Each structure stands twice: as C-alpha cells, then as structure tokens.
Amino acid sequence: MAAAVEDSSNVSEAYPMTGGDGPNSYAKNSIRQKLVVDAAKELLTKTIKQNLDLDICLPCDTFHIADLGCSVGPNTFLSVENILEAVKFEYQSRGLSSQIPEFQAFFNDHTLNDFNMLFKSLPRNRNYYAAGVPGSFYGRLFPKASIHFFHSSLAVHWLSRVPKDVTEKTSRAWNKGRIHYSNSGDEVVRAYQAQYSEDMECFLHARALETVHRGLVVLTLLGHHNGDSHSLGNVTVDILGSCLMDMARKGVVSEEKVDSFNIPSYCVSPQELEVIVERNGCFSIEALETLVYHVPEHGAKRSASTMRAATEGLIKQQFGEEILDELFSLYQQKIEEQISIFESKKSVIFFVVLKRKTN
Amino acid sequence: MAAAVEDSSNVSEAYPMTGGDGPNSYAKNSIRQKLVVDAAKELLTKTIKQNLDLDICLPCDTFHIADLGCSVGPNTFLSVENILEAVKFEYQSRGLSSQIPEFQAFFNDHTLNDFNMLFKSLPRNRNYYAAGVPGSFYGRLFPKASIHFFHSSLAVHWLSRVPKDVTEKTSRAWNKGRIHYSNSGDEVVRAYQAQYSEDMECFLHARALETVHRGLVVLTLLGHHNGDSHSLGNVTVDILGSCLMDMARKGVVSEEKVDSFNIPSYCVSPQELEVIVERNGCFSIEALETLVYHVPEHGAKRSASTMRAATEGLIKQQFGEEILDELFSLYQQKIEEQISIFESKKSVIFFVVLKRKTN
C-alpha cells in the first residue's frame, strides 16, 4: 500500500518569514542569514568532496536537492547554487564530466510561506529544475529514498510548536514575564529541550525515509556550546521580550498576552544533537563544527529589520498588527543603547553533516 | 554536462486564471471545467487499464504525476486523485497490491499563477506528496525521463503568445475589430494555426524528453471537428469581442486597443493534431476521441463568471482593471439575450492519449 501522507498541518504551527518584497519583507531583510550561507560555502564544498558518493543518483540520473525552510529567497537560491556547483565540480575533477546529471531542486517551507514571491524571484538562468514543496519539515515531504542532498540553513531551530507547559499558568514551567527560555528557569529550559528533542526525532525519522542511502543531510543550526549556561541565552530575544514587557507596563499590550507568548525556537548543543542522531540510528555524523562567520557592524536599524522580518508573523498573531511599528522602534532604540553588548554576543552556529547509513 | 534549463519566461506570455478565493476567483468559478474533469474520469480509468505498463515506475519506485496548467484548484486535485485511484486499482486488480508505489504529484502552471492559493487548498488527507512547478509548459519543466503520467485539462488551447501578425496593422493577418480568429479571415486563422503548431511542437519536444519510456500523456483539449469551418467558432469569445467593440463605440475603451487585443487560444482538429504528433515522432496516439460531457443550463450569470475568471488577467493587462465590471455585465446581458444559441453551441472537447515510444 502507498503510505498515507501524514498531515503535518495538524501537528505543526506555521510562522513564515514576512512575504512579498516590501521594506519589511524577509527577502529584503535577510542579509545576516546570507552571511551564514556564504560562510558555509567552503565547508559545503569540502563536505561534498569528502563525503559524497557520486553514484548515488544512479539509476535515475537526476540529482535531487531539497532546501528545507527555504523561505522566499534569495538565500535559498545561493545555497542550492553552492551545492550544485560543488557536485558538478566533483564530477569534473574525478574525470566524470560526461556523466554530470540533471539537477532538480525542491524548495520547502510551510504552506503559508510566500511561494508566489519565491517563484517570481527564481534565478532566470538556473541550471536546475525547480519545484516548491509546502509543508512542515517535521513531517514527511518526499517519497521514499528520493533525495540525494538535504540542506537547511538557520531553520531547524524553529520548533514545531511552543512547548505546551510554558504557556500554562498551573504548570511549574509557566514562563511568566518572558518570551523565551533564555535566562529563564530550569523547568522552562527543560520544556523547550523536550520539545526540541521530540521535533528532531520527527525530523530525522522523516529524513531517514526520504534520503537515498549514502545521501547527505547538511544543516546550519543555531546552537550553544556544550556546558554553556542557558542564561547566556540569546540577547536579541531577551531584548525583544523586555520591549514587550515595557509595552505591557504602559498598557499598550496586556501582560497576560506577554506571559502566554513564547518564541518557539531552541539552540541545541553538540552533545544533545549527538544523542538524538544516535537514538535515530539511521545517520552517521560526518561533521559537527562551529561555523566561523563574520558579521559586519551594521547597526541597530538593520538588526531591528532582520528581527522584524523573522518574527512579525508570530507577534502579529498574538498581539495584532498595530503594535509592530512601536515594538520594533523600541527594540531598535534598546539595541542602540546596548550596541557593544549586542555586538559582542554573536550567535553560535553549527555546521552539521549527516550521512544516511546503508543499513 | 547538465543541460541548461531553458528560460521559458522569455518566450511565453503568462495569463493565469484569477487567483485567491474571492467571488471572481477561478477557484470559485471553474464548475464548467470540473464537469470536463468528471466526464473524463471514465476514459482516464479505461486508458490506465489499457495502456499503462505498471513496471515503468521501477527502479525508483515512485509514480510521478504532473498536471500541466493546473491553475489554483480544486479541479487539479480531482484529476490527480482520479489518476492515482485508477493506477492503484490496476495494481490491485493485477494482484500487485504489495507493490503499489508512493505517488508524487507535480502541479504546474505559469510563475504568475497563485501557488499560495493552490498550496493552501491542497486536500488535507491526500495520498501523494505534492510539489508546485512554476513555468510555461511550452518549455522544459522536469528532468529527463522523470514523469510517468502527464495530464492536462483544458489548458493546451492557450497559445504561448498572441500570433504576431494579427496585431500588426501592416500585416494581411491584422485582426481589426475582432479579438479572435473565430469568424475572422483566412489569414488570421492561418496565423493562429501556425502559432499553435509551433507551440505544440515545443510542448511535445519537452514532454518527449521528460516522459519515461512507455509513460502516458493525457490531454483534454478544446477542439473543432475535421472539416468544420472556423467561422463556427467560439460563440463565447465572439460575444466578448462584440462587447469590447460596443464599449469602443461608446468611447469607454479605445478602438485601437480592441484591434490590437487578441485572445491567444486555439481549438485544434484531430487531423491537425495527428500531423503534429507524427512530426514529433516520439509518441503513439492511443486514443483521440470526442469527450461526451453534460453542461447543465446554469444561466448567463454563471457563464459570465466563468469567462471572467479565465480572461480577466488578459483583459486587465490591455484595458485596465476599471472596465471589468462593465464589460462582464454587458457580456452577461448579451448571453441572456442569446441564451438559446449560446446553450446549443457546446464546445468540442477531445480526449487524447499519447504514449511515449521506447525508440
């Protein structure tokens, strides 16, 4: 029997990046994310050189790439282009130029992602066939053993949902006065950890079925170093939370709404990730290293725009559209006041390479 | 070398159906098109029974269906469901239940199609993996030999462009005072015929590369019977043209704009189609028959809505959005006046089955 496709819409919340190409859009405000794509390019090329078996796309002779959490561009196109070029280069350098396959790239994100914008901005002279795939990457998206190379850049820190306990007043994990586990109590951290672990199990279970044997899954992930306290946290999210609390004190938003609002993202440690991958059992970890990237100082205004493009969907849902301008203007102001702390606390990003075992 | 993907955006005009789910949307005004999908179901099932070799999806073990010119739903989902059910039934009835493959459906339409709407309305409990593929079906859309079953319902009558000669004042094919070849001069008909022939050559060339050997291409096409005069034409397009001319006489639109406006669609005859398929050489014609379908009398209002959802994109481009209400109100009125002629002139639709030769 053909497997019934799981309906991921029931189990996963959607918080797409801001669509379109307006001044607040993700397309216009994802320059930081592009720096990560650029920084990962060299590692990606090395990974393909060291870990890719070129015969995996036989017998069908098309190389299938999927970018998970692609959003609306342009970074997703750069990633796909980097992968494609590195794969082609390997064929050439191994004397197999005549066997270079055709490429098909699948761009995946939540159903509510702005695919119209994505498709309109597809590069004109691309060397691959393009398709959009709607749905949560915590469920099945592709047929069995059909993808040779999965890629995801700065997307798998988004949880499938806010951990239930942190929103419940009666729970010991109730996250009052905060919007994240960062700098919060242990119970809150544990609730986030449990959700991440559960989500990554679903993620790896689905990818294990979809990846061809000896195929690769390459992820760049927001993380934290082994042993680092969660109180180090994410300074940007902390600042956003404090802005919302300020607005609650002024009566612009209700305190209750802030208490029940939580950003569904988690920064994993290498140790945690290793445990999850080993428990899944279908992948070997070929690399797990810290990504070295350079973020030029580009000031509070651009930082506020980047944050807005990534979170305004979530915030709108909880507080309504009308608070957005005030919130992000306050956010920008706070970043300006703390610019030196802000710029010294660079996010930790891991570059992870998983290879599908042959079982 | 990987083939460079042709950039179809340079060679093909886009006139997507009206997006969204508002009162004028295609999604809400494609009931006539649904009747054709329903009417084709039995022939589709018979086609699959008689012509489908079940081993064509080996060795990759996924059955790939592509619906070309899918628009925004819901008809495209019905077509895919009908194909999927018939293929599954064949496995079952041939005692191969345990070998039923997974299904992946590719929904294709122009880049400007409302894919966001399409993805939002995907059936929740579908038994296939879904992907959207933007681009003109007159160019390449898929990797070599990757699709087992192509389908297209009432889409391949749309030309890739308005035939150039019919818009040029100096040409003998200049189509003054009309918006279609229907009831027009021989030169105009010939210009449309030449464009159709050129487009279908591109269509078949691309499909021949993309279809697996022994795979099927099933089309429902607007047509006309061998030997029928083109002056019989398409009564709905004639009426739309006469409305525009009325509006030109009243000075609401410029006459020049009406003269240079032409609907880029063509109704092919079986004879013409046979010539084109034979010239291409890669497909055998397994069936080419007239589709029997029943259109209930549903009055002028709905007919006007159907026409509007399919053509308002084109009209807006030429005349601006502000004429749409007046135009389609006039159109509805004219249909009401001629309801008996209108209802007696049912479109001719052909059901065509092509099978990819093994060469």
pLDDT in tens, A259-300: 999 999 999 999 999 999 999 999 999 999 999 887 776 688
- Chain B: give the shortest CA distance to residue A304, in Å: 28
Cα gap A28→A229, rounded to integer Å: 34
Of A115, A126, A134, the CB nearest to B5: A126
Of the pLDDT bands very low, low, confident and very high (cuts 50, 70, 90), residue B165 is very high
Least confident of A337-341, B5-9, B27-31: B5-9
Contact A1 B128 (CB under 8 A): no
Contact residues on chain A for B126, CB-CB shorter than 8 A: 5
**Is pLDDT above 80 for A181?**
yes
B-chain residue closest to A145, CA distance: B60
Question: How many CA atoms are closer than 13 Å to the CA of A117, on its beta-carbon side?
Answer: 21
- Chain B: give the shortest CA distance to residue A258, in Å: 30
CA atoms A68, A69, A70, A76: torsion sign: negative
Per-residue pLDDT, B145: 95
Q: How is domain A27-230+262-295+346-356 classified at the CATH fold level?
A: Rossmann fold (3.40.50)
Per-residue pLDDT, A294: 79
Cα gap A72→B316, rounded to integer Å: 27
Per-residue pLDDT, A9: 41
Q: In Å, what is the CA distance from A31 to each residue of A34, A109, B33, B207, B310?
A: 5, 19, 45, 39, 39
Of the pLDDT bands very low, low, confident and very high (cuts 50, 70, 90), residue B30 is confident
Contact residues on chain B for A7, CB-CB shorter than 8 A: 124-125
Q: In Å, what is the CA distance from A227 to each residue of A90, A156, A223, A224, A268?
A: 38, 21, 12, 8, 11
Least confident of A112-121, A195-204, B20-29, B181-190: B20-29
Q: Strands B348-356, B211-223: parallel, antiparallel or unpaired by DSSP?
A: antiparallel
Which tokens go with A345? 């606390």
Domain boundaries, chain B: 30-227+263-302+346-356
Contact B1 A134 (CB under 8 A): no
Contact B1 A61 (CB under 8 A): no
Over residues B133-147, the mean pLDDT reads 97
Per-residue pLDDT, B18: 87
Give the helix, strand, coil percentages of chain B, each rounded to 5: 45, 15, 40
Give CA torsion, residues A47, A85, A218, A305, to 10 deg.
130
The reply to whether ipTM tops 0.95 is: no
Per-residue pLDDT, B9: 41
Of the pLDDT bands very low, low, confident and very high (cuts 50, 70, 90), residue A32 is confident
**Is pLDDT above 90 for B299?**
no
State pLDDT tens for residues B232-252. Answer: 557 888 899 999 999 999 999
Contact A115 B116 (CB under 8 A): yes
Of A2, A62, A97, the CB nearest to B103: A2
State in words which class domain B30-227+263-302+346-356 has: alpha beta
Please report, rounded to a whole number, the percentage of residues in chain A having pLDDT higher than 70. Answer: 95
A-chain residue closest to B85, CA distance: A2
Of A2, A59, A146, the CB nearest to B127: A2
**Is pLDDT above 50 for B5?**
no
Exposure string over B286-303, b if 16+ CB within 10 A, otherwise e? ebbeebebeeeeeebebb
Exposure string over B235-248, b if 16+ CB within 10 A, otherwise e? bbbbbbbbbbbebb
DSSP string, B81-121: HHHHHHHHHHHHHTT-GGGPPEEEEEEEE-TTS-HHHHHHT
**Is pLDDT above 50 for B2?**
no
**Is pLDDT above 80 for A345?**
no
B-chain residue closest to A98, CA distance: B1
Per-residue pLDDT, B10: 42
Contact residues on chain B for A88, CB-CB shorter than 8 A: 2
Strands (E), chain A: 62-68, 102-109, 129-134, 147-153, 211-223, 283-290, 348-356
Contact residues on chain A for B106, CB-CB shorter than 8 A: 131
Contact B126 A101 (CB under 8 A): no
What is the count of residue pairs from A and B with beta carbons less than 8 Å apart? 121
Residue-averaged pLDDT of chain B: 90
**Is pLDDT above 60 for B55?**
yes
Please report, rounded to a whole number, the percentage of residues in chain B having pLDDT higher than 90. Answer: 70
Contact residues on chain B for A132, CB-CB shorter than 8 A: 115, 119, 131-134
**Is pLDDT above 60 for A2?**
no
